[in-house]
Amino acid sequence: MPSSPRHRIARLKSAASPLLFQRLEQALQGVSLVQEDCGTAARMDFPYHPAPLRSPLLCEADGGLCAACCQAPPGQPGLGPRKTPGESTVQAFLVERLAYLTRLREGAQGSFEARWPSEHAGFSVPRPLSRTIALADGLVYLAELLEAQTPQPEAILGETDGVVALDPPRGKRSCVRIIHTSTHRGETLRFELPHPIPAGQPLRVAEGDRVQAGEALSEGHPSPHAILRILGERVLARWMLGAIRSVFAAAGLGWSDVHGAILLRRMLSRVRIKDAGDTTLVPGDLVERHRFFQVNGGVLRQGRAPAVAEPVLLGLSEL
């Protein structure tokens, strides 16, 4: 059910508070540039550019980032490092980053707060203010993204590729089964994966539809945690970068994907230990990503079993 105007305004006040932008600024400033170029060959696909690009998400600098992985993407001028005589690329990026954060904070206050509907103006909102409500929802959405919250209602995503089979409804609840088939050494393998759908949530698929892993089976908003679990970090990164950019674009603000990627690198900076192997790590613990690889490197050099971990997405307030 859509929230009431009064509830939306209350959520807007919470989402657009200065605390949100303070956390965003702290997260960006919490990353240090430690060298000019890490030399990585890793590249990432972006929808707005035909060729894969370097990204802070893939930077291999030890203990921070390199300037070469933090260059502004094509089509987003004026948001990347600019050098002046006698200034290194690292110094230029740090100066530009602080200037960018200042513009973002001031622009956000000017664009968002100036359009807030008055709490005392009643709820018979004239048509021209309908965009204000959309901006309110956009800010709530931005806060949910940056805090890695599960949106409501959450869309149920398919966990595997296959063909849809619908079970008979049980009351208001329904279940979508995905039938996956594959061939191994000439033998056809078949398994079914049930996906329970919450009560009252409309389906987006029909009997016999062919779906891919990560495709929405029901109406709602996809959870970033589900995207990460099913499709991995790179797909999550492209999805979140586009979602964050769209919110700022709706408010008439510029946004650089290089800063978005730095945020995501921070939000993906820890992993959860699933199997300790021969390490001293503890299953279930959250561990800094660089420490995880450091510990595993040590046991692998000794010919022992490494730990196994899964990526975790953290909100800004959890960093």
- Domain boundaries, given as residue ranges, for the chain: 5-152+226-267, 162-220, 270-318
- The whole-number pLDDT of residue 99 equals 65
- The whole-number pLDDT of residue 182 equals 92
Q: Is the dihedral of CA 204, 208, 212, 213 positive or negative?
A: positive
- The whole-number pLDDT of residue 92 equals 63
pLDDT under 50 in the chain at which residues? 1-16, 77-80, 112-133
The Cα angle at residue 216 between residues 267 and 168, in degrees rounded to 5? 135
Percentages of the chain per state (helix, strand, coil), in multiples of 5:
40, 20, 40
Cα–Cα distance for residue pair 319/304, rounded to 1 Å: 32
Cα–Cα distance for residue pair 81/60, rounded to 1 Å: 19
- The whole-number pLDDT of residue 126 equals 32
Q: Write out pLDDT tens, residues 126-154.
A: 333 334 445 556 667 778 888 999 888 89
**308-311/174-184 β-pairing:** unpaired
- The whole-number pLDDT of residue 280 equals 96
User: In the 8-state DSSP scheme, what is residue 150?
Assistant: P
Buried-state track 228-239, b at ≥16 Cβ within 10 A, e below 16 = bbbbeeeebbbb
- The whole-number pLDDT of residue 63 equals 80
Q: What is the pTM of this model?
A: 0.80
**270-275/33-35 β-pairing:** unpaired
- The whole-number pLDDT of residue 288 equals 94
User: In the 8-state DSSP scheme, what is residue 109?
Assistant: I
Cα–Cα distance for residue pair 163/208, rounded to 1 Å: 6
Q: Is the dihedral of CA 318, 309, 244, 118 positive or negative?
A: negative
Q: Write out pLDDT tens, residues 181-240.
A: 999 888 999 999 999 999 889 999 999 999 999 999 999 889 999 999 999 999 999 899
- The whole-number pLDDT of residue 177 equals 97
